[in-house]
A and B are shown apart, each in its own frame.
Chain A
C-alpha cells in the first residue's frame, strides 16, 4: 500500500509539468493562428480601403468600350485589362509547362526512384527551390542573349520565355508536394491494393494518386499563386509597360505585378497611386479566383473518384 502510494507520488510531477506546458503551447498556437488571420484581414481591409473606390470599369478598360477592349478590337491605353489578360495567360502557360514534369518528377521520386536517385534528385530539387527569382530571370535573359548570338538572331524575351522561367521557379513546389503527398499515403493502403492484385500502374493511377490528390492540388495552388505574383522573373524575360493584349507566345506582354510596380515607382498623383492599389486588389482577386477554381476541380475529382456506384 505504502509502496503504491510512493510510486503514485513519484509519478505525479510529470503530469503536472505536462499540464503546465500545455496551456502555454495552446496559447502560443492560438495566438499564431489569430495573428495570421489578423494579418490577412488587415491586408484585405487595407487593399479594399485603398483600392476599393477605384475598382470600376474605368480601372480595367479606361476610355475604351468594354467589349472592344475584351475582344482586342481597340487598344486600352489607361486601363489594366491587358495586364490582367497577360497575367492570366502567363499563369496558365506556366502551369501547362510545369504541371506534367513537376508531378511526374514527384511521382518518380516517391514511387520508382532508388535511394541513390532519391538523394541526388532530392538535392537537385532543393537547390532549384533555393534559386532566387531574379536569378531565374537573369538565366532566362542569358538564354536569349546566347540564342541571339548563336543560331537564333531573332530571339527575344517573350511570354513563352517568361512562362518557362516561372515554370522552373515553381517546379520544386510541385515536385515536393507530389512526393510528400504520395509518401504520406498509408502503407496499409498500398499493401492492400497490392494484395488485391492491382498492377503497379493501376495502384498508382487508381488508388495512390487519388488519395494523394489533396496534397498534390495544394502544390498546384501554391505554384499558381507564385506564378501570378512573381515580378522579378518576368521583368527580365519579356514583360513591358505597354504591349496591349498578349499577341502570341513570342510576343511581349503586360502583367499585373509589373503594372503595380510600374505605377507605384513613378506615380504623379494620389489618383495614380490609387490605381495601383486597385490593380493589387484585382491581382488578389484573380489569384484567389484561380485558387478557388483549382480547389473546386480537386474536390470534384475526389468526389467522382470516391463516391457513387459508377
Chain B
C-alpha cells in the first residue's frame, strides 16, 4: 500500500502528561481515512502531530517519527532530535531533515510554515479571520508566497467554484466572512485550504458544528477531494464513518488500531460483527 502518512512510535505529551503513546499507523495515499474515538482519546493530537501543530501548545513534547508524502515520497517532518529519546522538545522553526533513501531528500529545505501549508487542516468550527470573504482567501495565498495579488482573484474564483460558493458569494466578496451561515463558513474554510494546494488534508471533525444539510454538502465535497489526495478525518460519528466509506481507525486512550483489519472500513466492521449502528456506537464509547 502506498502511504501518505507513516507514523512510527509517536509519543506526544503536554506538561509531561501523555496524550499519545507509541502510536504507529500508516494512512493510504488516496481516499478518506477516518479516525473514530471518544473525546480525549487523542484523535486531534494525532492529527496535529501530522502537521506539527501540537508545537503551538505550551508544554508539548513529541518524540517518534512521522513521515509524510508531499509529492516527492515519504519525508521526515520532525527534526532528528525528536526521533530519539522521549522528552526532547522539537524546535518550533526547525526544518524536517531527510534521512535514508534518495526520494526523501526533498524535505531538507522545507520550513515548518511550508510544511503546514502543504498539509491543509480544517477545524471543528469554521475559523475565519474577522475580515472580508476575499481577504480571508487572499491573505494566506499572498503571505505564503503562493501567488501575487494580481494572480489571487483567479485562484480564489477557482477555489470558490469548487466548493460551490462562487454563485452565492460572487457579489459579496467584500462583506465580512463571519456574516455567512455556518455551512458557508466551513465551505469557505475548505476553499481557503484548497487554494493553497495542499498535498494532504487533515480534518478535525469538520461537520460537528453544522446542521445535517450542511454536513452532507461538506461530506460530498470531501469524497470528491479524496479522489485526488489523501484525506485524514477525525469524527465522533459512526454514521458519518459509514456514509464516508474509506478505512477506519479507532483511537482509544492515546493509542490507535484499525477498526477491522481484515475487511477494512466501518461498513465491513459493522457487517462482520452483525451489529446495528447504535450498538456499534455504544461499543465504541
Contacts and interface: CB of A to CB of B under 8 A. Distances in A.
Nearest to A188: B127
A197 B127 contact: no
B117 A191 contact: no
Interface of A: 188-200, 202, 206-207, 211, 305-310
Interface string B109-123: 001011111101101
A192 B127 contact: yes
A198 B196 CA distance: 11
Interface string B165-191: 000000001101000000000000000
Contacts of A211: 129-130
A197 B196 contact: yes
A190 B57 CA distance: 10
Contact of B144 (A198, A306, A307, A309): A198
A188 B125 contact: yes
B53 A307 contact: no
Nearest to A202: B143
Given A307-B135, A307-B174, A195 B116 contact: yes
B283 interface: no
B85 interface: no
Interface of B: 51, 53, 56, 92-93, 111, 113-118, 120-121, 123, 125, 127, 129-132, 134-135, 138-140, 143-144, 149, 173-174, 176, 192-193, 196
B53 A195 contact: yes
A310 B137 CA distance: 11
A184 to B, nearest CB: 13
Given A191-B56, A197-B144, A306 B127 contact: no
Contact of B140 (A188, A190, A197, A309): A197
A195 B49 CA distance: 12
A188 B123 contact: yes
B176 A306 contact: yes
Contact of A306 (B118, B123, B132): B132
